[in-house]
Structure 1
Amino acid sequence: MTEERDLRPNVASYLKRHGWTPGQAGQAGELWRLNAETRDGGGRLEGPSLAVPFQVELGSFEYLAILDRLARQLQVSTEKISEAVESEFLDAQNYRIADQYVFEESALLEGAATVLGSARRLVRAAATTARKPRAFIGANFSKPGDEMAKRARLAHTRQGSFILPIVMPVTPMVAEGELEEGAVPIEPGERSVTHTLASALAALNNIAVKPETSPGPDDVMNLVQSGVSKELVSAVREIVVSAGVAAFDVSFVWSPALGTPKEVPERVVIADEAAPLLNRVALELAKVKPEPDASVSGQIVRIHYVQGEPSGQIAIRTERRNRIVDVSVHATSEIVHQAYVWAHDHRAVLARGRIERKNDKTLYIPEPTAILPIDQLFANQFPIEG
């Protein structure tokens, strides 16, 4: 049995989210229990129990028995429980082909092929800009990003409407109790890819498409910092102009185990009328010169603050010169308190200011001119589709 087929982490996560707790482990597994309140509210009664082996292979007798037990407990079908358990650690991008091009639950091959090809390009571009913003990637795709993008898979299309689901398996997050002092939980790399893609598409839609005008220099830089690249815009445009599609239409469904990120769109729709504008945006991005070391963006990985002090430091993880590094940023106490919330919500952060190198070789921004979540660059212009 391979690790990819072992669904015990999925089962355990699903049970925890639904109020089950594991008991003492035995030689082969654990006995999980669901506690229930007594009718008069006086104490707790021991509820139903469920034996969960240390390994639960997909399709095995043990797995089917767990599904059956949960289905009877919740009075739903085993198929519904199976879908929920198997989706526990999956982020999904659902690309929709317009109903007028769907006949007898089939779509034009050309349109479907374009959507799939462009979806692959979107994931690959987002996997690179999730590590470091790039206006124009060209041949300089990130090798670690490419390895992450290769984990994406095509799932089954949905009956009744033609949706092509692209799913990205995500790894469980490290529990807060297992982190070093001052460290904060960060998104797994796979989640960061889909998160960046959703944020980039929202930025493209809100900054460039909805205003129906070519973005100015500041808008272009905001697009780049939000994860937009020429390659991403070109992939969106390819879907928009494809015969048998009608519009770029994608919705996002997030892993229940990791939860839904804050400030991301549920759905982004870009009509075919936007094709000329998208072409102009792509051309503008191709002309952007690499930004000097005057800003850093990424996830907050550490916060240092002494209660009552006027300032502290936050550390942002980013990529510089093809290496992952942590850059410390001086921050006021007000920003530090906000940073705890941003880190908890896994919102990528942008810090602008001159980057210096300390005597111990660590990187530091002593006088930042701005520290803010990246989604604030575009969220206030138009409401996010949802």
Structure 2
Amino acid sequence: MNQNAADDFYALASLIPPDQVSRYLHTQGWELIDRREGLLEEWAEPASPDRDFESEIHLLPINGRYRDFQRRFVEFLTAIASYYGIDAHELSHRMRLDNVDVLLFRLSHADDPGNSVGIDAASEVLRVAQRMLTMAARYTASPGKEFTGRMRPEVKEYVENYISLGHTRRGSFVFPILSGPQTGMGPEALFARRVMENLAIGLHRVKDLPDETHTSMSDGFGPLVVALADSVQSFSKIIGFPIVDISFRWAPERGVPRHVPDRAVKLGPSLIRQIGVSRKQAREILRTRNDDRSALMASREQVDRPSPSSQSTEIIGRIVALQIDDRRIQDWGTRYSIVIRSESRDPVLDVHVPVNESEYQSAAEAHSRGATTTAVGLLSRTDHGLFLEGEVIFSGEPSR
């Protein structure tokens, strides 16, 4: 190693602490062989199916007070870079991706592992991966709607800005797809995490579809399961029909999510054919459930919204609550609602008003300013309180 390259690794060692390196290795599939708390960790390189020798083991020093800490730490960083065939600058960039979740697609052939993958196969895998993530994002944003039509703004932003292709590992054909903003813990990061959680649950439901069709379709994940089952069939079009392993590496900064399966989903030719047969039954279950839901909503309409007066009612007051509840989509056609407190009436009334996303944003601004809001429409009393369906007008003046 020349002096400039060595200086780069010494500079990197001063910028990135050992615990961040440890988290990075975990997300990239390295195996932790031994840990001595506060002293050191031993890591084995990721196993690869086409390598007939054991993975090398490297020592990561943890205790910075040791006299030879910096030298050993630089040696460790150099070994990681050598494994990937990159320099210190590229390694620094990769290790800073602490906030992203990683979706991994690994290709192999049962009869011939080989040492290459066809360009058509690689292109098809990437197309399927993008389609799966897009459907998971649509489901996350609108659980009660079909995967058609114009994408919601948060879905469009996620697909355009927060999905990227990571680096491959030496000795295997893995497509690492990064999900989420690379820095920060804002709403974009939370949405990206929910997309990956839903995708993980949905893929495991798809894998179990041939044996447990009704169980896999037992709750609100049904639409996503059917959509993912359709996508899985695209793998059968790939020449050579490879085995596809799909797994997840969760962002260390946010931790491993609870109640999400952590096993890899392995899809071979036989299972994909079985899923193709089972998805027909799954689609029929979903259709029947939607028909039953429509009938239930029609009857609920009669119970929850008893003959409101044909005369419009005007409610004027401050916004005292902003609510987002996916369960309301079936009843109101939107997840967004506000609560207006009308203090000019006796007694004081708190009225729930469904709004669209744009109105919700305006309501948030009015709430922060304490501005007066007016709602005009048909007022009903339901089991959940007063409900008004109509027009909302936001005033620029604070209420007094």
How do residues 112-131 of structure 1 correspond to structure 2 at under 5 angstroms?
A: 112-131=122-141
C-alpha distance 110-102 of structure 1, shift in aligned 2 (>3 A): farther
Counterpart Cα distance in 1 of 2:202 and 2:16: 30
Which ranges in structure 1 are unaligned for 5 or more consecutive residues? 1-10, 20-35, 38-45, 49-68, 175-184, 295-314, 329-356, 368-386
Q: Which residue of 2 aligns with 1:110?
A: 120
Contact 1:118–1:238 under 8 Å retained in 2:
yes
Q: Which residue of 2 aligns with 1:145?
A: 155
- SS of residue in 1 equivalent to 2:102: strand
Counterpart Cα distance in 1 of 2:154 and 2:72: 44
Instruction: Please list the CA deviations of residues 265-312 of structure 1 after superposition, one character each: whole Å capped at 9, or x if unmatched.
Output: 331123333243254156437735384698xxxxxxxxxxxxxxxxxx
Say whether 1:194 aligns with 2:196: yes
Offset of residue 157 of structure 1: 2.4
C-alpha distance 365-85 of structure 1, shift in aligned 2 (>3 A): farther
Q: CA RMSD in A?
A: 4.6
Counterpart Cα distance in 2 of 1:322 and 1:238: 33
**Greater percentage in helix:** 2
Q: Which residue of 1 aligns with 2:184?
A: 172
Q: Which residue of 1 aligns with 2:290?
A: 289
Contact 1:154–1:167 under 8 Å retained in 2:
yes
Higher relative contact order (CA 8 A, sep 6+): 1
C-alpha distance 317-286 of structure 1, shift in aligned 2 (>3 A): closer
Give the alignment partner of residue 258 of structure 1, picking from 254, 258, 262: 254
- SS of residue in 1 equivalent to 2:290: coil
Q: Give the number of equivalent residue pairs.
A: 251
Give the alignment partner of residue 89 of structure 1, picking from 93, 99, 102: 99
- SS of residue in 2 equivalent to 1:201: helix
- SS of residue in 2 equivalent to 1:188: helix
Q: Which residue of 2 aligns with 1:310?
A: none
Percent identical across equivalent pairs? 20
C-alpha distance 219-165 of structure 1, shift in aligned 2 (>3 A): closer
Give the alignment partner of residue 269 of structure 1, picking from 246, 254, 266: 266
The two structures have a TM-score, normalised by structure 1, of 0.51
Counterpart Cα distance in 2 of 1:324 and 1:274: 36
Which ranges in structure 2 are unaligned for 5 or more consecutive residues? 1-12, 22-37, 40-62, 82-90, 298-322, 340-348, 356-381, 386-400
- SS of residue in 2 equivalent to 1:129: helix
Instruction: Please list the CA deviations of residues 92-120 of structure 1 after superposition, one character each: whole Å capped at 9, or x if unmatched.
Output: 11111114477653212222221111111
Offset of residue 209 of structure 1: 3.1
Counterpart Cα distance in 2 of 1:365 and 1:75: 68
Offset of residue 152 of structure 1: 0.6
Contact 1:125–1:229 under 8 Å retained in 2:
no
Counterpart Cα distance in 2 of 1:70 and 1:210: 54
The two structures have a TM-score, normalised by structure 2, of 0.50
Higher-Rg member (1/2): 2
Contact 2:99–2:252 under 8 Å retained in 1:
yes
Q: Which residue of 2 aligns with 1:234?
A: 230
2:217 partner letter: V
